[in-house]
């Protein structure tokens, strides 16, 4: 069911998680609430995403989670982790249980990420999502801006400067984003996950800009809509064309052909996100079945016996 890859596994070609190479669009360091949320959003956009997760964790120190939205009686940490990682993998992420030791600039201009076991992967972008630590980023800190020295008693400690990233997680180091820790939002798991989603949107928007999407078209929202609320596809396509043409500034550098091509590509993407009533029903059933996979079989059987008894007595 949950197929995370252990540290001892090779990080190169034909991994058992299905990835055929050891280079990724995005590597996320840390698979807690912030990092798992990043992965869900970047993978859903189609970015080849790898999450490394091992080591010091804030969430693992929590006894039981009672204030994450959607779990009326709370949720135990083990099940919560399994759900987060299963979600990230279902969306297309690879998740590996390895400790990242260093992130360095690669000759390609991206990054080379090395694990404690000595394996390496290359990536275009890195998102740091480790509530504690950050030493693995030292090699990137050429301008000495990422860490600050804290003194406690006679001890001196270097801690990651939480003001290094901006509000969307972007940093002065091109291609490096920080989802955790940050100055303001890491105190609760729910806000950490929310911030991860925000940082992921910044990543996706930067990718879209790099792919040529102009201002007004580079923005990104991951929404799914009901088909019933839309007119037929052709008139919806026309409406979207008008909207996009209005949003894109007149002084864009793109030729009319390039702009039309990007616009139609974006319209295709948005139209794919309309679901029929049947499809919503199919996804609803599947989503409930997938949730059951995370619930103890004995609890399911006990609930089933109760339901059967109730139905017989009605």
Closest approach of Cβ 150 to ligand FAD, in Å?
Answer: 18
* Binds ligand FAD (CB under 6 A): choice among 61, 229, 246, 311: 61
Taking the least distance from each CB to ligand FAD, the nearer of 68 and 274 is: 68
* Binds ligand FAD (CB under 6 A): choice among 7, 9, 44, 62: 62
**Cβ 230 vs Cβ 274: under 8 Å:** yes
Closest approach of Cβ 195 to ligand FAD, in Å?
Answer: 8
- DSSP-assigned letter for residue 176: E
* Binds ligand FAD (CB under 6 A): choice among 124, 189, 200, 262: 189
Residue list 106-165, contact with ligand FAD (CB under 6 A): 129-131, 133, 136
Taking the least distance from each CB to ligand FAD, the nearer of 22 and 57 is: 57
- Closest residue to ligand FAD in the complex (CB): 32
How far, CA to CA in Å, does 20 sit from each of 12, 13, 147? 8, 5, 36
Residue 264 corresponds to which tokens in the numbers above? 């139609």
Taking the least distance from each CB to ligand FAD, the nearer of 169 and 214 is: 169
**What's the half-sphere exposure (Cβ side, CA atoms, 13 Å) at 65?**
19
Closest approach of Cβ 253 to ligand FAD, in Å?
Answer: 38
**Cβ 190 vs Cβ 68: under 8 Å:** yes
Q: What residues contact 7, with CB distance under 8 A and at least 6 apart?
A: 54, 96, 97, 98, 99, 115, 116, 117
Closest approach of Cβ 193 to ligand FAD, in Å?
Answer: 7
Q: Transcribe 211-249 into DSSP letters.
A: TTPPTTTS------EEGGGS--HHHHHHHHHHHHHHHS-
Radius of gyration, alpha carbons of the chain = 22
The distance of Cα 27 from the centroid of its chain, to the nearest Å, equals 10
Closest approach of Cβ 258 to ligand FAD, in Å?
Answer: 39
Residue list 12-51, contact with ligand FAD (CB under 6 A): 29-35
Closest approach of Cβ 41 to ligand FAD, in Å?
Answer: 14
Q: Binding segment for ligand FAD among 5-13, 181-189, 219-227, 288-296 (CB under 6 A)?
A: 181-189
Taking the least distance from each CB to ligand FAD, the nearer of 29 and 262 is: 29
Q: What residues contact 8, with CB distance under 8 A and at least 6 apart?
A: 117
The residue with tokens 């996100």 is 273
> 179 φ, ψ to 5°?
-95, -25
Contact string (CB under 6 A) for ligand FAD, positions 220-259, x = contact? ----------------------------------------
Size of the site for ligand FAD (CB under 6 A): 33
Closest approach of Cβ 312 to ligand FAD, in Å?
Answer: 40
3-state secondary structure of 146: coil
Q: Which residues contribute to the site for ligand FAD (CB under 6 A)?
A: 29-35, 52-59, 61-62, 65, 67, 99-100, 129-131, 133, 136, 180, 186-190, 192
């Amino acid at each position: 069911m949950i197929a995370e890859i252990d540290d001892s596994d090779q990080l190169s070609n034909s991994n058992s998680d299905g990835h055929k190479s050891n280079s990724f669009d995005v590597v996320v360091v840390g698979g807690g609430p912030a990092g798992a949320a990043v992965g869900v959003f970047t993978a859903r956009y189609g970015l080849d995403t790898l999450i490394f997760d091992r080591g010091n964790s804030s969430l693992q120190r929590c006894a039981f989670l009672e204030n994450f939205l959607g779990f009326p009686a709370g949720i135990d940490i083990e099940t919560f982790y399994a759900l987060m990682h299963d979600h990230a993998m279902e969306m297309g992420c690879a998740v590996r249980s390895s400790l990242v030791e260093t992130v360095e600039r690669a000759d390609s201009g991206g990054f080379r990420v090395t694990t404690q076991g000595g394996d390496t992967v290359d990536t275009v972008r890195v998102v740091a999502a480790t509530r504690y630590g950050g030493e693995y980023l030292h090699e990137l800190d050429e301008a000495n801006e990422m860490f600050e020295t804290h003194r406690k008693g006679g001890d001196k400690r270097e801690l990651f400067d939480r003001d290094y990233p901006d509000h969307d997680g972007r940093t002065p180091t091109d291609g490096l984003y920080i989802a955790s820790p940050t100055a303001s939002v890491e105190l609760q798991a729910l806000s950490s996950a929310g911030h991860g989603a925000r940082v992921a949107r910044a990543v996706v928007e930067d990718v879209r800009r790099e792919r040529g999407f102009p201002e007004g078209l580079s923005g990104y929202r991951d929404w799914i809509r009901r088909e019933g609320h839309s007119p037929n596809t052709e008139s919806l396509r026309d409406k979207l064309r008008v909207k996009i043409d209005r949003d894109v500034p007149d002084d864009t550098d793109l030729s009319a052909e390039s702009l039309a091509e990007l616009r139609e590509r974006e319209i295709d993407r948005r139209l794919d996100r309309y679901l029929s009533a049947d499809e919503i029903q199919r996804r609803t059933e599947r989503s409930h079945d997938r949730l059951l996979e995370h619930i103890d079989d004995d609890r399911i059987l006990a609930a089933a016996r109760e339901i059967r008894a109730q139905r017989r007595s009605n």
